[in-house]
Structure 1
Amino acid sequence: MTSVPPAADQKLNGDVLWDDFDPGVYISHNYLEMQAVDEEILSHVRDHFSDHFRGRGRVASGIDVGAGPNLYPALAMLPWCDRITLLERSARNLDYLRRQCPDYAPHWDQFWNVLCKDEAYATLDMTPRVRFKEAVQQPESGSLFDLCTDTRRWDLGTMFFVAESITTSLAEFRRGVGCFMNALNSGAPFAAAFMEHSEGYRVGAHTFPARDIDESEVRAVLSGYADHVEIHRTANPKQLVRDGYTGMILACGQRKDRRDE
């Protein structure tokens, strides 16, 4: 069961000063040393993409929506698509991503090592840094909600801790998931991760909103867009990376045939 804030207490995505988000603080708390929960999630994503693409060729395009200062969703796509769009709204996060493209920081190697437990990653035909530079090239400024009207479509997609972590509004959360799905071609594999029962979060001196959602809401919002959805829930109290949430929900699936909508 999820809670609903009073209308007066709601904070919408457009109310947030996203350029205040400090990627350095966020990385130091979450990614300098890999969290057990991230290793678990990344392993599921790796296996999902590897199972989907086994015996197939590389597709043209992938997108990580709301990339923030997190490279591991893009790393998980490296063997599977020619180019990767990192879509990000915050100017400070964009600056971080652009600085990572030529040669990403050493702490991301621990995430790549988890991916390399699958042969497709371990036998990549070039180093991951070269592949990352080749695939990403230039991160793109933009909002999740821009994808509702964007006419481009991608063949592979990720969205990690975005739709529920930018607003307190259930309507905006659902619209955000729909915008992500709108960006994917029919049959495109995807992985989307969500904070469960999040009350919002702090990065440095600034607080940011979140929508309280649970597994049933994730299943419901994806049901109109996705097939073969598998949900992985992590809720070990010893693995929580901060206060104010109860676990993480990872949804892996395929985009439905758009003609059926």
Structure 2
Amino acid sequence: MTRSARRTRRTLQVTGVGAAALLVLSACSSSDSDSSKAPDTSAPDSASAKVSGEVTVFAAASLKESFTTLGKDFEKAHPGTKVTFSFGGSDALAASITGGAPADVFAAASPKTMAIVTGEGDAEGTPATFVRNRLEIATLPGNPDKIASLKDLTRSGLKVVLCDKTAPCGAAAQKALDASRLKLTPVSYEQDVKSALNKVVLKEADAAVVYRTDVKAAGDKVVGVDFPESADAVNDYPIALLKDAPHAAAAKAFVALVRSAEGRQVLTGAGFLKP
């Protein structure tokens, strides 16, 4: 069942007169949107092709800064377009997409979370890996607890935060811990990497295992500590155009920007690794 079909099914769950009204409105809206989408879906492939409309991008929280920059660049290069982002844990975003949430593009922080979407047949074509990312320990400014290794995080009395195990950053952290044969009980599991980092920024935790891109984005609010085990838990980031994209041509152009030399420059400047 496609995402559009799942959205329609939820709409039809409304009962009585409200349901009938919704069906009438849906039919009219569908007719109008079909005609408005036609120029987008039939637009040529070239970079010079004029695109328009609002592109809705669901992206991993760790992409917030770099994708926000690319979104502004895209709007400037294509007057009349707008890029709207929804950032969060890749697992939660994938569940929203397969549940029928309207989106044009999905950029995940791991192939596993992208597979949730492709497994439901909601991606158009094969997802492409556009960057990679590795972990780093975020500590309080000045590193007052003298954290120098992953093993140091297991010290008694140290308040450590991890991403939830279902999120890519949490799965990567657990992989690094397993490779080191270390056991760590965090004070909390956070839904995404920004939430985990924020615990340290707010001084509610002494350290968090996050991506090095997030440490860099935080500036002097935290200090990053590299650890060799992070090499065993590098995450690939795939991006895909979604089926039933309301503005497919514009969405495809945004994906092309992300994968272009210009996009690569923005992403590597943020600390991401080349695929």
Q: TM-score range by the shorter chain?
A: 0.3 to 0.5
- TM-score normalised per structure 1: 0.33
Q: Going by fraction, where is helix more abundant, 1 or 2?
A: 2
- TM-score normalised per structure 2: 0.32
Larger Rg: 2
